Amino acid sequence: MDGSDRSFADNFFDQAPAGLLSTDVEGVVRVANSTLLGWIGRTAEDVVGQLRFSDFLSVAGRTFFETHLSPMLRLDRGFREVALTLMGPDNTRLDVLVTAAADADAIQFVVFEARQRRVYERELAALREVAETRSSWLRQVEGLASIGAWSIDLDTKEMTWSDQVFILHDLPIGALPTTGEALLFYLEEDRERVRRHLAQTRATGLPFRFDAGLVTAKGRLRYVRATGELERWGGRPKRLVGVVQDVTEQHEAELQLWRSAHIDGLSGIPNRTLFQKRLREMIGAAGATGSVALLLLDLDGFKEVNDTRGHDAGDEVLRSVAGRLRALFPELDCARLGGDEFAILLANTEDRSAVEARAEAILNAVRRGVPFCGDWLYVSGSIGIAYYPFDAATAEDLLRFADLALYAAKRSGRARTSSYSPNIGAQFTARRGAIEMVREAGLAGGIVPAFQPCLDLADGRELGCEALVRLRTGGGELVGPSAFWAAMSDPESLRIIDERMLILVTEQMAIWRQAGKDPGIVALNASEHTFNGGDYARTVLDRLEQLALPPSSLRIEVTETVFLGENSQAVEAAIAELARAGVSIALDDFGTGHASLIHLRDYPIDWIKIDRSFVSGMSLVGRSGTIVKAMIDLAHALDIKVVAEGIETEDQRDFLRGAGCDAGQGFLFSAGTPVAASTGGRPRPA
């Protein structure tokens, strides 16, 4: 075709051979295809526009008196179809089907007989039925999976949504928003990210995938997952196409899993895992020029609330404290580390006075009562503080040093704040070493009792002795409590010592008795933690019975801290049971505590032991002497006997004797001396 105004019919029928019959399908197709070569680049509309049907009235001597032009058919991906039918007087029929792509890349003509047309129509109907069935299935699958399809024409900005996309947005099907309006459904914090994904795919051709939150037309918060890619037509970008899926349930399930792993279920604030992550992030952000303060809070009196009011009361205290911390600090900067211990992080903390003021605000908040079942619960708190990078260079060390500072705060009286210092670190190192010494000795059989005689100050008779603990070092040397005193605040160390000393001391008492020697009353110390560890009274009495030792041969010595502990009721019951069995009870270090007179009134105390701090400072005219005399008189008035510890000089002995003190022990008479296992003899003054 040279572009003149010759019609399709001119070209088609000029090339048709004479006598062309409708059954000569191949010939018709050959002519049509030849004609097609001149029509490349034309659209289907161009072809139809130049079809003059009058030209078909005569073809190779045959007359076609009827022509039919089918309506334009719109097919997928922009294809068009035009069907032309020619009918002759003898019912000869020619069907011409013109198919063209919308982008005019190709035009194809197909000519076929009437019977072929019917086959084609049947096949087309079947294909349309299959397509409709598949479309129905697809809509069902979209609904079940909450997946919808969408497209955006890059030239016109026109969007296309499947039904499920409308449903996801709570919009009536067909109420299509503009591209800009569709973006407004997304949460504000996600909107720019969505816009950036679309622009990036259009610019680079790379597919995208994102999760984002959106608020539907009905105000419901949903979470969606969108994927898309760029579609090109004729080598140029034409459309963005993709799918969007409602993943709200999955998002909520994942959020619940995350919360389970990172949020404390009771208090609702971050747990140890999330706190440690946050701590590392803050230290990383601080770098070499910033600073971070870590505050560790431990509740004082919490165990008592749990024990006396029940765990529901304790849980209410923990929730209340967490809520007060959340009101004072950003949510991610406070955490519950476990039990009754909390952590708080502060950034840019060069002003330590400001940090200490925040710590005091925390303590004030903790002190406020917690309403519970018509009553009030009260606890206090202790806080340890450590600073990055001044105290520690890593998150692990910062946490460790804050813990040491917390320990120092609790040791110094509780309900206060303590900041880490090298001195605290040295104390902890010494304590750690002492604890290791005790535990190694316990495993290696290195706990050894030494016995210090207790004498009647009136006539010098030996009344018995006190069992003192010694540890044998790896080199074989015996060391006294001064070498491992720092371990005496460690519950496990005290338990190891008390359990081993009970076994060894009663064993030695039995050896003496089997040898015909009367050791008198042997005094054995028992710590607060020994009473807390189980049925101590039953353990002692069973041991005495096992070795055939009379209960009256043993005296249990306790300090006032035993009665002041959180398990005071168990202590009271154990002391009473021992006393009823005949074991005598002594109150050690008398005069150094806070409630000695109450203890003398409420507990079956047989002896008091005046602490060496009063004896060493005693003189005939000094206040210490007056206090000691008053102690002795008070004890005797309550029918309680008195032992003075730490007697080192004859003047001290004489004063105590003159003041009516019943017994004494100290270096003046003998140091504590181990018993040689081979001899089984009693220790004698060195």
Q: Is the pLDDT of residue 107 over 90?
A: no
Gap between the Cα atoms of 212 and 186, Å rounded: 7
657 residue type, one letter: R
pLDDT of residue 546: 95
Strand partners, 236: 233
Tell the residue number behind the tokens 């002692």, with chain if given.
540
Q: What HEC string does 637-676 produce?
A: HCCCEEEECCCCCHHHHHHHHHCCCCEECCCCCCCCEECC
pLDDT of residue 106: 39
Q: What is the pLDDT of residues 20-45, one digit of tens each?
A: 333 343 444 444 444 433 433 444 34
pLDDT of residue 14: 47
Q: Is the pLDDT of residue 110 over 80?
A: no
The residues of the chain that CATH labels 3.20.20.450 are 451-470+491-674
Q: What is the pLDDT of residues 186-198, one digit of tens each?
A: 999 899 999 999 9
Q: Is the pLDDT of residue 431 over 50?
A: yes
Q: Is the pLDDT of residue 114 over 60?
A: no
Q: What's the average model confidence in pLDDT over 404-419?
A: 87
Q: Is the pLDDT of residue 479 over 80?
A: yes
Where in 275-333 does DSSP place strands (E)? 292-300
Look over the chain and give the mean of its residue pLDDT values, rounded to a whole number.
78
DSSP for residue 55: G
Of 122-126, 151-155, 233-237, where does the model show the most confidence?
A: 151-155
pLDDT of residue 23: 35
Write out the CATH class of domain 146-252. alpha beta
Q: What's the average model confidence in pLDDT over 45-56?
A: 40
Write out the CATH class of domain 263-420. alpha beta
Q: What is the pLDDT of residues 451-465, one digit of tens each?
A: 999 999 999 999 999
Gap between the Cα atoms of 153 and 240, Å rounded: 7
Where in 303-411 does DSSP place strands (E)? 334-338, 341-347, 370-372, 375-377, 380-388
Question: What kind and span of H or E run contains 183?
Answer: helix 179-183
Q: What's the average model confidence in pLDDT over 559-568?
A: 72
Share of the chain above pLDDT 90, in %: 40
Count CB-CB contacts under 10 A for residue 50: 17
The residues of the chain that CATH labels 3.30.70.270 are 263-420
Q: What HEC string does 197-208 produce?
A: HHHHHHHHCCCE
59: buried, middle or exposed (CB in 10 Å: 19+, 13-18, 0-12)? buried
Q: Which residues contact 88 (CB under 8 A, 6 or more apart)?
A: 22, 62, 63, 64, 65
The residues of the chain that CATH labels 3.30.450.20 are 146-252
**Of 586, 531, 581, 580, which is closest to residue 558 (Cα–Cα)?**
586
pLDDT of residue 158: 87
Which of the listed CATH numbers 3.40.50.800, 3.20.20.450, 3.40.50.970, 2.30.30.60 matches domain 451-470+491-674? 3.20.20.450
- Say if strands 641-644 and 663-664 run parallel, antiparallel, or are unpaired: parallel
Gap between the Cα atoms of 649 and 588, Å rounded: 21
Share of the chain above pLDDT 70, in %: 74
From residue 423, how far is each of 408, 426, 427 by CA, in Å?
A: 10, 5, 6
Q: Which residues contact 86 (CB under 8 A, 6 or more apart)?
A: 56, 59, 64, 66, 67, 93, 94, 95, 96
pLDDT of residue 200: 93
Gap between the Cα atoms of 2 and 365, Å rounded: 95
Gap between the Cα atoms of 581 and 552, Å rounded: 8
CA 389 to chain centroid: 25
Q: What's the average model confidence in pLDDT over 547-556?
A: 96
Count CB-CB contacts under 10 A for residue 125: 10
Q: Exposure string (b/e) for 558-579, b if CB count within 10 Å is 16 or more?
A: bbbebbebebeebbbebbebbb
- Residue 122: pLDDT band with limits 50, 70, 90: low
Tell the residue number behind the tokens 């018993």, with chain if given.
675
Q: What's the average model confidence in pLDDT over 395-413?
A: 89
Q: What is the pLDDT of residues 256-287, one digit of tens each?
A: 888 888 888 898 899 999 999 999 999 988 88
Q: What is the pLDDT of residues 584-623, one digit of tens each?
A: 999 988 876 655 677 788 789 999 998 888 888 766 556 7
